[in-house]
Amino acid sequence: MTVARRRPVLLIVVDNNVALNVLHYSLFENNNTVHIHIASTVHLQDILFPYIREHLEDHLSTHWEEDECKQDVHLLKKQIEEDMKQNRACAVHAVDQTVHTDEEKAIREVVDNVLWQMAADRKSTALKQLQGHMWRAAYASGRIKGEIYQDVTPSIRRWRGQGLKIYIYSSGSVEAQKLLFGYSVEGDVLDLFDGHFDTSIGAKVDGRSYEKIAERIGCRPEEITFLTDVTREAKAAEEAGVNVLVVVRPGNMELTDEERAHYNLVTSFNQLESMGRA
């Protein structure tokens, strides 16, 4: 009796600490871990986030009466209401174009809230949607481009040549992901990816998110190896039964001695090669 091999799947995760992280579906029978080099891919902290801080007020002033901007502000207002219910600190207690007659004041409140969320490293859907819309315009105009480390695309192309499917899971919106890789310094490289996940499926620090992703791509959590540079995400993935590798790259948060002892560490895409090949 011939046993069919499982279809290999990679789930690549791009988070706000600019690491390219990977969820890897079992490639070989009796071996559910393929060592794949994962590293920082894009300079979010250096380019994309500063762009939001610098251009946010102008963006709101220009588009305030447009439906898309109104929807962005509406989501921010809903997020604030949820924060207040959960007794979370919040910089703004009311954001709504229909409430304020003073447009300048209303815009200032939105700016204050967005900057507060960014400073707190919030990953709310409302924040990510607004950021995505701003980045879309910036990418389309050529003002910014997604910077990808040189070893990333050759590695992904090699994996795809081996039959791997590759997905992105990010705290940034699906739209923002597509912009980053669609307007990269290497051109449009969206053809490298088979699909995208964002926080609409769940937070990256919630183990249930990884269970949902496994179900969505048709595998079991224990058949996945997750690579991340954020140990809170690593912990959540482990709790879901996912195998974990932690990526160590320049500029990433320093790991504790306990974390270094607990997790398997990688520092380069070139370190991640499939193992167990007959």
3-class SS at 63? helix
Q: Tokens for 203?
A: 């937070």
**Of the options 1.10.720.60, 3.40.50.720, 1.10.3720.10, 3.90.1150.10, the CATH number for the domain spanning 51-141:** 1.10.720.60
**Mean per-residue pLDDT of the chain:** 77
For the chain, give every residue range classified as CATH 1.10.720.60.
51-141
Q: Which residues 6+ apart lie within 8 Å of 134 measured at CB? A: 51, 52, 55, 56, 59
Measured CA to CA, the distance from residue 160 to residue 136 in angstroms comes to 27
Q: Tokens for 174?
A: 């699906």
Half-sphere exposure of 150 (CA within 13 A, CB side): 0
Residues 255/248, Cβ–Cβ less than 8 Å: yes
Domain 9-43+146-271, CATH 3.40.50.300 — does that match?
Answer: no
Residues 264/243, Cβ–Cβ less than 8 Å: no
3-class SS at 80? helix
Helices (H), the chain: 49-63, 67-85, 103-119, 125-141, 152-161, 174-182, 207-217, 231-239, 257-262
pLDDT at 15: 42
Q: Which residues 6+ apart lie within 8 Å of 88 measured at CB? A: none
Among 275, 153, 236, 224, which residue's Cα sits nearest to residue 11?
Answer: 224
For the chain, give every residue range classified as CATH 3.40.50.1000.
9-43+146-271
Q: Which residues 6+ apart lie within 8 Å of 83 measured at CB? A: 89, 90
Mark the ranges of the chain whose per-residue pLDDT is less than 50: 1-8, 13-42, 93, 274-278
Lookup result for tokens 């167990």: 276
pLDDT at 251: 74
pLDDT at 1: 37
Q: Give the type of residue at 76.
A: L
Measured CA to CA, the distance from residue 88 to residue 80 in angstroms comes to 9
Q: Tokens for 101?
A: 């007659």
pLDDT at 155: 80
pLDDT at 255: 93
pLDDT at 187: 92
The reported pTM is 0.68
Half-sphere exposure of 135 (CA within 13 A, CB side): 26
